[in-house]
Structure 1
Amino acid sequence: MTEALSRSPLARFIALVEQRLGLHYEPEQWGELAPLLFERSASRGMEGYLSLLNSTASEAEWRALAERLTVGETYFLRHPAQLEVLMSKVLPSLAQPGAPIRVLCAGCSTGEEPYSIALLCREQGKVDPSQLRVLGIDVNPRAIAHARNARYSPWSLRSVPQALRERWFQRSSEGFFLRPALRDQVLFEERNLLEDAPAFWAPASFHVILCRNVMLYFPAEVTRKIIARMSQALVPGGYLFLGPSETLRGISEDFELLRSADAFYYRRKAPAPAATVAEPVSTPVPATVKAPVRQPPPMQEGLDALLPLLDAERYAEAWARLDALPQAALPQGQLLRAVLHLNAGRFAEAEHAGQQLLSMRDTEASAHFLLGVCLEHSGDEAGARNRYAAAARADPTFALSHLRAGTLARRAGNVAEARVALRMALSLLPQEKPLRLTLFGGGFGRHGLMQVGLRELQACTEVP
């Protein structure tokens, strides 16, 4: 970017939008915002308009910009696998007699998501609806007004079964109105996720937060700030739902990733117990004896030295080096031996080694994956899919297991299952462990595997 361009009114406008609304635009997208800048600055001139946006009198203008810039595509019962686990597992686990369950829908747009939660709660009867407190927030004032009005088009109800439409909506010439009993159970607020609001985000304010398909519009540093705020606002052990293509890898370590059927979601980790600090005990060391110096164990270094040989496909040399290492009998050494069997086409030996590794926690996920590859080579794709799914259950961050499971699901015609797995693979691959790429990447690097995942997703007639 040239110095002149970086100081242009358009660049300054885009920087203000990112600072205030969190929306990030790549340079090739800047032209899309130029007409809006010209329109909004017509009465004041460019400099006067940019000064307004920087002033304390800018609130009304920022609300108008939020209406124009925020994306609001949504509909009732969207991402049903996540809603099902919310209803069948998450909310029942949080229910306490007489105590409210507080659910926040962040970036709720026109309200379909929070209303869907209230509707399913009444339909499924697994949680007392009177205990449920659902709040939807969005930066777009027009979207919030729409949500409070609770009038929807047939397109917004496209995933709602006819029986539920008849039970919970009243049809009129203006569309479908949500019945008051359901509408009144959900509250809405206009709120910017980037603004500090200590009272709103107070600790333990919510049991569940849904922020689905929102973070993908924000740069990483904005996402980290928002997720940290949400982590603080959740009760210990509270739940966070993101969109199917969104991940917390590289964003936050406050959560553990969970999976139920085709749904991925997060649970806030319990705070670590405070460490007890003991008074240091001084042990005298005789003058003639030096205190021993701890040396790091050399075993991992020895195994790591074999990885470049695997990358270069020098398997015979890697095999000879492995046999000479004392770490060969350790779980990681046995895993390397199993992979070498696999690369040499000795599938029976690889399968035998994989079965032995299943009982070892550190290698369980890798063992399932290895056994899946063996089954795939034997033509048993259904069995291989089960193994890849088991690998993902053992370690939900194992990107390659999601990639292979999604590929085989697409081949089997299970397009919905394939999309879920492939989206998860694409979100996790940028952070996949280099060791796993070397052992199980099939000669592809990280970029090549990303391209494989994108092609598979395109074959499902959908690109994220």
Structure 2
Amino acid sequence: MGLAGQARGGGVMEPKEGLDRFAAFVERRLGLVPASASKEELAALLEELAPRRQWEDYLEKLESAPAGDAALRSLAERLTVGETYFFRHQAQLEALVEEVLPHVQREGRSARVLSAGCSTGEEAYSLAMLARESARVEPSRLFIKGVDLNPRAIERARWAHYSPWALRVTPEPLRERWFHALPGSEFALRPEVSDSVHFEERNLLDEDSGFWAPNSFDVVLFRNVLIYFSPEAARRAIARIEQALTPGGFLFLGPSETLRGLSDAFEVVQAGEAFYFQRGRGASSTARLRIVTPPPIPAAPTAAPAAKAVPPKPAEPLHKLEGAGRAWRLLEEERYAEARSLLETLPEHEREHSLSRLLQAALHLQAGLFREAERLGKALAESGAQGAAAHYLLGLCREQAGDTASARAFYERAVHLEPTFALGHLRLGMLARREGAPTHARVALRLALTLLAHEQPVHLMLFGGGFGRHGLMQVCQRELWACSEVA
């Protein structure tokens, strides 16, 4: 007898059946892997939305709900988490304004930009401000639209009032020019910026042939969104974006995100410290912007040489590294190019300190300079300095090169040297799941989820890819749900 038959007969839906059906709906309709650390938390959310005896009716209502339904919108509010602020990943925004938009606006064309998964609007407004600061962009021919699944986030974006925390990396001249202080502690965007961006509530997975029509957008910002999507939902979203972009149009993802396994229709473009993607053109197209292929990486051993492994040395506190401490602060503010430049000017004793070398290696990795990152990582690993972090960094380099066997060996060495290294367990779990070993994956991922609550801040700064502790826990949760599906 089916679930509906049980309900009509007066029975109560079994918890596992209800949770599985609820989770499957959330992924299918919203694209999200539920942001709950356990089945118990997901059950608590479902119980809050509908008492157990009403689960069947509630789930049936959700499954038949049209776009914009109140219950669906309420669920989206509960399950989506926005982590954003003004001028996040500023190098990418500057490349968009100084390279991409002038390229699009040539010969009098307008530029149409979509901020997909815009949250509370900081990304779209940051672009609008930078465009008004640039002599190379014509704001009158720049049209920016922001869309998000969360109705409350869209309301806040339209309201355009922000806390000091949202402006924490906003340059002071821009804060003074484009915001005015409100009584209390909030800041409001000036109308010339807030009126220049249009926001609408939209599920990126809903069918809408008009919105996603070919040639609808020249640029799509889809940064730090894939982390919340299931693999299938990510493929659907990227396919829809590809369809809507003009030939030769541009896609911006978060610095730690990739199109690997999602699409072969884009090539990597580099402008300074920023990397982004360009859609392939037709045969009659003009020449595209310079495409940069990462340099070849020397072969790495399949496992760290045991003879050279020594116990990790205790790290010197960051506050004792004066110049390097400033570089770490720049990293925390995602000002990667400035951090690299500052490191090069440090006195030799500070520059050669193991923490400074680790920071430099991580910045090389962030910029796509894999050969330099791997060279520094090998030197640190062989000396025993920053052992776990150095081996983890080498694993990232090998994974970027497609050498998953060596990557796994380096991650295993990292967690052997430091058993509480949450990020190492996370990468091992992700590799295991993708290689079809869900049992091994679940063990590693559950351990990672527990340890992430106590992961060292230095590891989060170096290897978090712009995401905080909570965002990385979301990644872990998504992977665990994917393992459950495989099983």
Q: Root-mean-square deviation (CA), in Å? A: 4.1
Tell me, in whole angstroms, the C-alpha distance in 2 between the residues paired with 1:423 and 1:109.
Answer: 31
> Which stretch shifts more, 209-218 or 401-410?
401-410
Distance 1:11 1:401, change over 3 A: same
Q: Report matched runs for 1:38-437 at 5 Å.
A: 38-42=47-51, 45-56=54-65, 59-173=69-183, 175-271=186-282, 401=371, 403-404=373-374, 407=377, 426=396, 429-430=398-399, 432-434=401-403
1:32 aligns with 2:41: yes
Distance 1:458 1:271, change over 3 A: farther
Whichever residue aligns with residue 432 of structure 1, its letter is: A
Asked if 2 retains the 8 angstrom alpha-carbon contact of 1:109 and 1:144, the reply is yes
Report deviation, 1:389: 11
Q: Deviations over 1:296-338 (max 9, x none)?
A: xxxxxxxxxxx9xx9799xxxxxxxxxxxxxxxxxxxxxxxxx
Q: Deviations over 1:150-193 (max 9, x none)?
A: 11111111111222112111111262111111111100011001
Distance 1:461 1:143, change over 3 A: closer
Asked if 2 retains the 8 angstrom alpha-carbon contact of 1:389 and 1:402, the reply is no
1:15 paired residue number: 24
Distance 1:424 1:157, change over 3 A: farther
Report deviation, 1:402: 6.8
Report deviation, 1:25: 4.0
Asked if 2 retains the 8 angstrom alpha-carbon contact of 1:82 and 1:263, the reply is yes
Tell me, in whole angstroms, the C-alpha distance in 2 between the residues paired with 1:176 and 1:239.
Answer: 32
Asked if 1 retains the 8 angstrom alpha-carbon contact of 2:223 and 2:253, the reply is yes
Tell me, in whole angstroms, the C-alpha distance in 2 between the residues paired with 1:251 and 1:179.
Answer: 39
2:288 paired residue number: none
Q: Number of aligned pairs? A: 341
Q: Report matched runs for 1:422-461 at 5 Å.
A: 426=396, 429-430=398-399, 432-434=401-403, 445-450=406-411, 459-461=458-460
Asked if 2 retains the 8 angstrom alpha-carbon contact of 1:136 and 1:187, the reply is yes
Distance 1:128 1:27, change over 3 A: closer
Tell me, in whole angstroms, the C-alpha distance in 1 between the residues paired with 2:365 and 2:252.
Answer: 22
Distance 1:146 1:406, change over 3 A: farther
Asked if 2 retains the 8 angstrom alpha-carbon contact of 1:389 and 1:405, the reply is no
Distance 1:387 1:237, change over 3 A: farther
Distance 1:106 1:388, change over 3 A: closer
Asked if 1 retains the 8 angstrom alpha-carbon contact of 2:147 and 2:154, the reply is yes
- 1:253 is paired with a residue whose SS is coil
- 2:123 is paired with a residue whose SS is helix
Distance 1:433 1:272, change over 3 A: farther
Distance 1:62 1:177, change over 3 A: same
Report deviation, 1:71: 1.0
Asked if 1 retains the 8 angstrom alpha-carbon contact of 2:361 and 2:373, the reply is no
Tell me, in whole angstroms, the C-alpha distance in 1 between the residues paired with 2:224 and 2:270.
Answer: 18
Report deviation, 1:52: 1.4
Asked if 2 retains the 8 angstrom alpha-carbon contact of 1:410 and 1:460, the reply is no
Which structure ranks higher in relative contact order (CA pairs < 8 Å, sequence separation ≥ 6)? 2
Distance 1:198 1:449, change over 3 A: farther
Tell me, in whole angstroms, the C-alpha distance in 1 between the residues paired with 2:130 and 2:157.
Answer: 18
Tell me, in whole angstroms, the C-alpha distance in 2 between the residues paired with 1:169 and 1:153.
Answer: 11
- 2:199 is paired with a residue whose SS is strand
2:476 paired residue number: none
Structure 2: gaps (5+ residues) = 1-12, 285-298, 305-351, 382-388, 415-420, 425-454, 465-487
Report deviation, 1:7: 4.8
Asked if 1 retains the 8 angstrom alpha-carbon contact of 2:362 and 2:393, the reply is no
Distance 1:248 1:458, change over 3 A: farther
Report deviation, 1:29: 3.0
Tell me, in whole angstroms, the C-alpha distance in 1 between the residues paired with 2:158 and 2:17.
Answer: 40
TM-score by length of 2: 0.61
Tell me, in whole angstroms, the C-alpha distance in 1 between the residues paired with 2:365 and 2:178.
Answer: 41
Report deviation, 1:272: 5.5
| Stretches of 4+ aligned residues off by more than 6 angstroms | 310-313, 385-393, 408-411, 422-425, 455-458
Report deviation, 1:406: 7.3
Larger Rg: 1
Report deviation, 1:410: 9.9
Asked if 1 retains the 8 angstrom alpha-carbon contact of 2:28 and 2:233, the reply is no
Tell me, in whole angstroms, the C-alpha distance in 1 between the residues paired with 2:47 and 2:101.
Answer: 48
Tell me, in whole angstroms, the C-alpha distance in 1 between the residues paired with 2:50 and 2:234.
Answer: 30
Report deviation, 1:459: 4.7
Asked if 2 retains the 8 angstrom alpha-carbon contact of 1:392 and 1:401, the reply is no
Report deviation, 1:67: 0.9
Report deviation, 1:458: 7.0
- 1:271 is paired with a residue whose SS is coil
Asked if 1 retains the 8 angstrom alpha-carbon contact of 2:361 and 2:376, the reply is no
Tell me, in whole angstroms, the C-alpha distance in 2 between the residues paired with 1:312 and 1:156.
Answer: 43
1:277 paired residue number: none
Percent identity for Structure 1 against Structure 2: 46
